[in-house]
Amino acid sequence: MTNTIEAKTETSQTKPSRLDKCLYRCLKTEQRVNFVKKWSPVGLRVFFTILVAVVVISSLVGLLTFKEEYVRFPSERDINGFEFVLRVASNTGYPPEVSSVIAIWREDGEYDFELIRTVECGKEDLDKFGHVLDEYYWINKPTHKLLCLDKGQHMRLKGNYLEPDSRTLYIQVDNCPTKECRDKMATSDAKDAGFIELYHKGTVFDPQDFNDPLRSYIGLETFSLTADEIGYFLMYIMPVEIISDVGLIGTLKNEVTGFSFDRKDVFTNHMGKSVAEGFLAINLSNRKQIYQRTYKKLETMLAELVGIASTLKLLYMAYQSWIEQKKKKSL
């Protein structure tokens, strides 16, 4: 009798009662509630908001492209924005004579000339070049000249000096302009007749500045003059273009153009001891640098956000279905 009672007692202990089932369900429900709280819609909204913000910020970041083109015959360009100062130094004891023209090589092989005025540089011109043109260089040196192009002149270049229908700026420097000077030079053994220094402002591009992307640097080109030669100094300047599409809706292009030094060539022609001349020719280069900056338009951003929102909606619906399955399994 005793054994039978003990067996029934063991059987009743292995079978869960209604209270055990209730406690078990409550425990699973609490776990499910904690799980749902951990991944609540509020948390998902925060996550999706951050994701959309990242997409929008990435859309606002501009796309920068750079290319360099070779131009067979450079088109006509206004070079008034190309600033330079010309320092001419004569070692012959006589002040140099300087003249400048734009030579237009017509298609019939003949030349036309436009006179370009050169004047002594003023303080405003010197200030643009900073300390490289300190005044002490020019004090009490009558055989040195510091020259700038006269303001208000319409200067346009086209092609280069080897091409018909071209426009080239020529600056002629004669360090021995008088007969007396040439007679002395003919009997002298001195070779050094002086030099030409061209201080110019070149252009570089700053991609971080949207309003004023051009930055300038000061370059220096030096050419020596010899007592028995004519020097030909060819300088090529390269256009630098920055094209920014700043339109919020549609296309609105803002173009800024500057010039940068490209290269130089030097040729000499032996003439005897009666000359000390140099010709500085400024041409357009066959190279052109182009920077293009584009930004996503408002309609493009809206279309992308709608697509992102649709994708996020599908993900959220899939998440809700998964939660429902978890609920069913926990019951």
Residue 82 in this model has a pLDDT that exceeds 70: yes
Q: Are residues 227 and 88 in the same domain?
A: yes
Residue 25's Cβ-side half-sphere holds a number of Cα atoms within 13 Å equal to: 9
Beta bridge partners of 258: 240
Residue 21, SS3? Answer: helix
Q: Are residues 320 and 201 in the same domain?
A: no
Residue-level pLDDT at 8: 42
Residue-level pLDDT at 325: 76
Residue pair 97/181 in contact (Cβ under 8 Å)? The answer is: no
Residue 181 in this model has a pLDDT that exceeds 80: yes
Q: Are residues 284 and 305 in the same domain?
A: no
Residue-level pLDDT at 283: 93
What would the pLDDT profile of 262-321 be if each residue is shown by its tens digit? Answer: 989 998 888 777 788 999 999 999 888 888 877 766 666 677 777 777 777 787 777 777
| Residue with the larger pLDDT of the pair 37 and 152 | 152
Q: Are residues 82 and 191 in the same domain?
A: yes
Q: What percent of the chain has pLDDT over 70?
A: 69
What would the pLDDT profile of 186-203 be if each residue is shown by its tens digit? Answer: 888 878 888 998 988 888
Alpha-carbon distance of 215 to 213, in angstroms, equals 7
**What letter would DSSP give residue 211?**
S
Q: Are residues 31 and 137 in the same domain?
A: no
* Tokens 């951990």 -> residue: 38
Residue pair 238/208 in contact (Cβ under 8 Å)? The answer is: no
Q: What is the mean pLDDT of residues 65-89?
A: 83
Q: Are residues 113 and 154 in the same domain?
A: yes
Residue-level pLDDT at 280: 94
275: domain range? 63-294
Our CA angle for 183, 176, 277, nearest 5°, is 120
Q: Are residues 8 and 115 in the same domain?
A: no
| Residue with the larger pLDDT of the pair 246 and 168 | 168
| Residue with the larger pLDDT of the pair 220 and 65 | 220
When divided into structural domains, the chain yields a total of 2
Q: Average the pLDDT over each of 103-107, 154-158, 210-214, 222-226 and give the range with the smallest value.
A: 210-214
- At 198, list the tokens: 């061209």
Q: Are residues 218 and 97 in the same domain?
A: yes
Residue-level pLDDT at 36: 44
Burial class (CB in 10 A: 0-12, 13-18, 19+), 239: buried
Alpha-carbon distance of 49 to 308, in angstroms, equals 11
Highest average pLDDT, of 15-19, 82-86, 317-321, comes from 82-86
Residue-level pLDDT at 246: 65
Residue 254 in this model has a pLDDT that exceeds 80: no
Residue-level pLDDT at 247: 60
Q: Are residues 140 and 239 in the same domain?
A: yes
- DSSP codes of every residue in 299-310: HHHHHHHHHHHH
Q: Are residues 114 and 263 in the same domain?
A: yes
CB under 8 Å, gap of 24 or more: what pairs does 128-131 form? 128/83, 128/201, 129/85, 129/199, 129/201, 129/218, 130/218
Chain centre distance of CA 246: 16
Q: Average the pLDDT over each of 93-102, 154-163, 180-189, 203-212 and give the range with the smallest value.
A: 203-212
Q: Are residues 263 and 200 in the same domain?
A: yes
Burial class (CB in 10 A: 0-12, 13-18, 19+), 27: exposed
Burial class (CB in 10 A: 0-12, 13-18, 19+), 24: exposed
Q: What percent of the chain has pLDDT over 90?
A: 13
Average pLDDT across the chain, whole number = 76
Q: How confident is the model at residue 48 (pLDDT cuts 50, 70, 90)?
A: low
Alpha-carbon distance of 283 to 278, in angstroms, equals 16
Our CA angle for 313, 319, 322, nearest 5°, is 145
Residue-level pLDDT at 168: 93
End-to-end CA distance of the chain: 41
Beta bridge partners of 89: 144, 195
Residue 149 in this model has a pLDDT that exceeds 80: yes
Written as one letter, the residue type at 111 is Y
What would the pLDDT profile of 207-231 be if each residue is shown by its tens digit? Answer: 777 677 778 888 889 899 988 889 9
CB under 8 Å, gap of 24 or more: what pairs does 250-253 form? 250/297
Q: Are residues 109 and 47 in the same domain?
A: no
